[in-house]
Amino acid sequence: MSAQTAVVTGGAHGLGEAIVRRLHADGYRVAIADLDGAAAEALAKELGEAKGYAVDVADRAAVDGLLAAALADFGSVHVLVNNAARTQAKKLMDITADELDAVLKVNLGGTFSACQVFGAHFAAQGYGRIVNMASLAGQNGGTATGGHYASSKGAVLSATKVFARELAPHGVTVNAVSPGPQDSPMVRSIVDDVDGLARSIPVGRLGDPAFIARMVALLASPGAASVTGACWDANGGLYLR
């Protein structure tokens, strides 16, 4: 089989960048979509066999355009990683209706729309892998990430299940990865006492984005055909089930 193409939203920075680099190292051609189009293009240029796109996943038309552009540039698409997300550290009772809407449009709306758009394409071709980035916050209610972020990620977990059920007969798997606190710029930007946070985790350390990327790559692989509707946790023992 020729090289497969993976689309990663929110792929220019942080965990998304780690996922892009892992998939690229594994031989995928990568379409890097990000609100920061310049950063996406710069990363694509560095890697080669990649393209960067400025995309706001909250805009359904932009998601349609992303699929069309990736198909035009690469000829085929096989994998979608829904990583784009918006978070805001704010007290629960102070979250405004506009702030709630803004977070839900990206985290749930963007993921849902991309699952529809790419899922329909994958079903038509009889093969596809979708990996949604969930979060520990969506499982335990969250802490510093904001109640609207936690709520949106809980909804992503439910969306993963409904799309997995719908697309399973068509050779398309849909799974989620649910990281706990990672040693990442985003976590460090919203947590004042990172060392204290690490001590509160049963394993005594923050997660490694490179390992999360390997989990995503495994679920995105052709060999993961029997895994769908699953959520793989990596939270250091903060949430056990």
Domains and CATH numbers, the chain: 5-234 (3.40.50.720)
- The DSSP bridge partners found for residue 175 are 131
Q: pLDDT tens, 209-227?
A: 999 999 999 999 999 999 9
Contact present, 139 and 181 (Cβ < 8 Å): no
53 is catalytic: no
Show the low-confidence residues of the chain (pLDDT under 50).
none
Give the pLDDT score at 109: 98
CA distance linking residue 135 with residue 166, whole number of Å: 23
- The answer to whether the pTM exceeds 0.75 is yes
Annotated catalytic residue, options 53, 127, 149, 239 = 149
Cβ distance 90 to 146 under 8 Å?
Answer: yes
**What are 8's two structure tokens?**
């990663």
Instruction: Tell me which residue has tokens 């990865």.
Output: 177
Per-residue pLDDT, 46: 98
Q: How far is CA 59 from CA 64, 134, 142, in A?
A: 9, 20, 26
